[in-house]
Amino acid sequence: MQRFQQYIGGAFEDGAACFESLDPATGTAWALMPNASAADVGRAVDAAWAAFHAPAWAGLTASARGKLLYKLADLVQAAAPQLAALETRDTGKIIRETSAQIAYVAEYYRYYAGLADKIEGAHLPIDKPDMEVWLRREPIGVVAAIVPWNSQLFLSAVKLGPALAAGCTVVLKASEDGPAPMLEFARLVDQAGFPPGVVNILTGGPAAGAALTSHPKVAHIAFTGGPETARHVVRGSAENLASTSLELGGKSPFIVFDDADLDSAVNAQISGIFAATGQSCVAGSRLIIQASVKDAFLNKLKAKAEAIRIAAPDQMTTEVGPLCTLRQRTRIADLVAQSLGQGAQLVTGGVVPDGPGFYYPPTILDCSGLPDAAGLKQEFFGPVLSVISFETEAQALALANDTVYGLASGVFTRSLTRAHRMIRGIRAGVVWVNTYRAVSPIAPFGGHGLSGHGREGGLAAALDYTTVKTVWLRTSDDPIPDPFVMR
């Protein structure tokens, strides 16, 4: 089996232990991954701490940091086919998606390369005539970046890019599920010429995560994952009082009004829930459809869902591949069964296929009249769409906001005024109107509630990796009066 190594202090090494990684298409082991111990994590943080203070990194100008990021972007673009193949092999995400996404990841590094020397301070018009006061934005310190297996190169870019642009150093922990592309990405970091210890990449389970998030030298934690794990992250941060940015899950509403272009909305819904086999935090997993067009819309949706080609993820013609893990498939099947037991109607799918691999078919549940059904409340993180109908705009908005999450949303309507009303009313960090799943390095991304806090992408993300220093400079040449002499 292929063997991968972790990257600490500019050196590749085996972990304290290792574990087998399974190919989701077959369910068989194909590679050995390093399983970082708490001691490994400690060495990685120490390496990042030393690099943060060393002249090789701390002495670089912001423009020089940008040049390193530009080089990393070029290396990512050149290695995209190899990285895509690894991600497909280790996570089951189909090759047509990994290829396109990783090629675009390079643009995130280019964006932050260009931003590196544009993170500015400010001069304050202070109310004291003999003082000059200005603000400096300085790197916050060592960053703990924790990413899940899905879209991991993208989710690491929106952390590494701004952190490195700001001048921080990073310890990145990849998920123990499907970490191969992140461990291979470490070779690109090494080739780009970042000083040793500036970026460290390892993988491991909860023990490694706990050691990283609670380490006293960690100043900021950037985490993407589920709310339950995020609670452990926040508890860990109580030890070091690190700041946090949390990009968590979602149960995103996909709202279709009767005046929408139904064919366009159907295509967007197919992409919004079945792309990446539904394993996406922004999956449009709640279809909120106006009752007058519900039957017509579901007929179109069902036909397209049943025509989706489910096959091996390494084939370019495959449209839906396997789930990443067997436990995820088991959880999805249980939630579908729970929803059906609550009275939901199965429109299509819902049956675990025979054969090897962790496949699950595109599934649609009609939960109309069942606002508390599991399908409408819980994040499946798989190819399952739950449907509920509405009569009025006010009902649509109430259903959209009937969730503990607040990450993304979609609105399909030809009415400009209605679109603006929905934009104002929906409680979500992202609102897509007549489109879905569009992203850009220029645009901030994030949510609130159980979808987390903080933003990734855009200038806002870079500022999260800085701290503000206030500088006071007295301009008078007169001596400071003795404070104990009364005048």
Candidate list 87, 97, 247, 319, residue with the active-site label = 247
Tallying the residues shown for the chain, one arrives at 487
**Distance, CA of 169 to CA of 177 (rounded, Å):** 24
Rounded distance between C-alpha atoms, residue 179 and residue 184, angstroms:
9
Q: How many CB atoms lie within 10 A of CB 197?
A: 27
Question: Which residues of 225-293 form beta strands (DSSP E)?
Answer: 243-247, 253-256, 286-290
Q: Rounded to the nearest 5 degrees, what angle is found at the Cα of 12, between the Cα atoms of 69 and 43?
A: 90
Task: Say if strands 286-290 and 384-390 run parallel, antiparallel, or are unpaired.
Answer: parallel
Sign of the Cα pseudo-torsion (387, 390, 395, 397, in order): positive
Question: What is the distance between the alpha carbons of residues 240 and 242, in angstroms, rounded to a whole number?
Answer: 5
Contacts of 102 (CB under 8 A, 6+ apart): 76, 80, 83, 84, 87, 153, 154, 181
Active site residue 239: no
Going by C-alpha positions, the residue among 201, 198, 210 that lies closest to residue 240 is 210
Cα separation, 224 vs 311, in Å, equals: 28
Q: Which tokens sit at 331?
A: 């959880």
Give the pairing of strands 253-256 and 286-290: parallel
Secondary structure element (H or E) that encloses residue 125, with its range:
none
* Phi and psi torsions of 440, nearest 5°: -160, 145
Q: Which two tokens stand for residue 9?
A: 């202090």
**In the sheet that 199-203 helps form, which strands lie side by side, from edge to edge?**
11-13, 6-8, 199-203, 169-174, 142-146, 218-224, 243-247, 452-453
Side chain identity at 385, as an amino acid letter?
Answer: L
Give the list of residues 6+ apart from residue 105 with CB closer than 8 angstroms, or none. 76, 80, 153, 154, 157
Q: How far apart are CA 437 and CA 433, in angstroms?
A: 11
- Residue 247 CB neighbours (<10 A): 27
CB 39 within 8 A of CB 235: no
Q: Which residues are catalytic?
A: 247
